[in-house]
Amino acid sequence: MTTTKLIELAVSMKKRAYCPYSGFAVGAALECSDGSVFTGCNIESASFSPTICAERAAAAKAVSEGHTDFLRIAVAGSGPDLCWPCGVCRQLLSEFSPDGSLRVIAVDGNGRWESATLAQLLPRAFGKHSIRCDSL
Ligand code: THU
Three-state SS annotation for 60-104: HHHHHCCCCCEEEEEEECCCCCCCCCCHHHHHHHHHCCCCCCCEE
Nearest ligand 1 atom to the CA of 25 is 14
Query: Is any ligand 1 atom within 6 A of the Cβ of residue 33?
Result: no
Contact 76, 40 (CB under 8 A): no
Q: What is the DSSP string of 24-71?
A: ---EEEEEETTS-EEEEE-B--TTSTT-B-HHHHHHHHHHHTT---EE
Q: 107: closest CA among 23, 11, 15, 16?
A: 11
- Going from the Cα of 111 to the center of ligand 1, the distance in angstroms, rounded, reads 17
**Cα atoms in the Cβ-side hemisphere of radius 13 Å centred on 128:** 11
Residue 117 in 3-state DSSP?
A: strand
Q: What does R_g of the chain's alpha carbons equal in angstroms?
A: 14
The catalytic residue positions are 55
Contact 14, 78 (CB under 8 A): yes
Query: Is any ligand 1 atom within 6 A of the Cβ of residue 73?
Result: no
Atom 3 of ligand 1 has which residue's CA nearest to it? 53
- Going from the Cα of 83 to the center of ligand 1, the distance in angstroms, rounded, reads 8
- Going from the Cα of 15 to the center of ligand 1, the distance in angstroms, rounded, reads 14
pTM attached to this predicted model: 0.96
Per-residue pLDDT 10s for the chain (136 aa) are 999 999 999 999 999 999 999 999 999 999 999 999 999 999 999 999 999 999 999 999 999 999 999 999 999 999 999 999 999 999 999 999 999 999 999 999 999 999 999 999 999 999 998 987 666 5
Please classify residue 92 by burial: count the beta carbons closer than 10 Å to its beta carbon, then call 0-12 exposed, 13-18 middle and 19+ buried.
middle
Query: Is any ligand 1 atom within 6 A of the Cβ of residue 86?
Result: yes
